[in-house]
Homo-oligomer: A and B are copies of this chain.
């Protein structure tokens, strides 16, 4: 039997007797034959491979993104080379070079900050999509969460449960995410003729800051009846201080976090209502855009914003007060 015929049998091409085909299939099975992807790739000029570069040390934000991307890519039989840059530009260049040398058909770049960042290179021979981070070059495709919408969502939910004196404790003002969330909240309150209770309290992304920030807020606006927090960690700190100062959550003060980081949100007392950025969806979308681009149908450059959702838990249960 010729080798060419065997190839056809395995791939279901050409015409041949079923018996012959079966014989080949059986033999292949018996011998544990696996086609050499290098030979196939050499011929086809394709690798069915993409690279995923993260600067988040495979952290809390990039992982759900990766899982979403894997979902979408797996359907296309695409395998993923993972590289973690440890936030080091040198490593990043190194990995991008390596991925290109391996002839990946596209690259997804993820991060932990949504701030625009320098692209990974100009005129790369393959399409690139930025997920959960944004390229400074707006001819690139970037997919980011809707921080502003998330802030608005939180504010509207709090108003819907009857709160009107809503404070905000969040991370450093140097983070675009923090500014956007605050903006979304302020705008939503404004639409209802309200304003935030007290100043927007910018600080750190930590529980410790949440504890301090809550004290500041209680001092400035003792009649506050809700707090929207820039992260679940901050919210936990706020919850703790509120309790220690004798305010009941949610009866006296309702609380909304941000991230839906379950170990934090569920460990909180009470469990935390929080904004979910739909990171998985960001990853899936990034992967789909990449697949389209690989298939020759690139999305126009620009930023795509994925809507956030709200996960309801005890911390905003409608008060009986």
* Chain A interfacial positions (CB closer than 8 Å to B): 32, 34-39, 41-42, 47, 52, 57-59, 63, 66-67, 70, 77, 79-84, 98, 100-103, 125, 206-208, 233, 236-237, 240, 263-264, 266-267, 269
A233-B262 Cα distance, complex, nearest whole Å: 12
Contact A102-B84, Cβ < 8 Å, known A39-B42, A237-B267, A267-B233: no
Q: Are A57 and B47 in contact (CB under 8 A)?
A: no
Q: Are B103 and A36 in contact (CB under 8 A)?
A: yes
Nearest first, the 7 A-B pairs at minimum CB distance are: A207-B267, A82-B82, A38-B41, A38-B42, A38-B38, A58-B63, A79-B81
Q: Are B47 and A267 in contact (CB under 8 A)?
A: no
Chain B, Cβ-Cβ closest to A60: B263
A267-B36 Cα distance, complex, nearest whole Å: 51
A58-B98 Cα distance, complex, nearest whole Å: 23
Q: Which residues of B contact A240 (CB under 8 A)?
A: 269
Chain B, Cβ-Cβ closest to A52: B82
Q: Which residues of B contact A42 (CB under 8 A)?
A: 36, 38-39, 42
Chain B, Cβ-Cβ closest to A86: B67
Report the minimum CB–CB distance from A42 to chain B (whole Å).
4
Q: Are A66 and B70 in contact (CB under 8 A)?
A: no
Q: Are B80 and A82 in contact (CB under 8 A)?
A: yes
Q: Are B67 and A84 in contact (CB under 8 A)?
A: yes
A37-B52 Cα distance, complex, nearest whole Å: 19
Q: Are B79 and A102 in contact (CB under 8 A)?
A: yes
List 17 extra interface pairs beyond A34-B100, A263-B264, CB under 8 A.
A34-B101, A37-B103, A42-B42, A57-B63, A57-B67, A58-B58, A58-B63, A66-B84, A67-B84, A70-B82, A77-B98, A79-B83, A80-B83, A81-B81, A206-B267, A233-B267, A237-B267
Q: Which residues of B contact A98 (CB under 8 A)?
A: 77, 79
A83-B32 Cα distance, complex, nearest whole Å: 23
Q: Which residues of B contact A263 (CB under 8 A)?
A: 233, 264
Q: Are A103 and B208 in contact (CB under 8 A)?
A: no
Q: Which residues of B contact A102 (CB under 8 A)?
A: 37, 79
Chain B, Cβ-Cβ closest to A57: B67
A83-B74 Cα distance, complex, nearest whole Å: 10
A236-B236 Cα distance, complex, nearest whole Å: 12
Q: Which residues of B contact A38 (CB under 8 A)?
A: 37-39, 41-42, 47, 103
A82-B70 Cα distance, complex, nearest whole Å: 9
Chain B, Cβ-Cβ closest to A80: B82
16 contacts between A and B (CB under 8 A): A37-B102, A38-B103, A57-B63, A58-B58, A58-B63, A58-B67, A66-B84, A70-B82, A70-B83, A77-B98, A79-B83, A80-B81, A81-B82, A207-B266, A237-B267, A263-B264
Chain B, Cβ-Cβ closest to A100: B34
A196-B189 Cα distance, complex, nearest whole Å: 55
Q: Which residues of B contact A58 (CB under 8 A)?
A: 58, 63, 66-67
Q: Which residues of B contact A34 (CB under 8 A)?
A: 100-101, 103
A120-B206 Cα distance, complex, nearest whole Å: 41
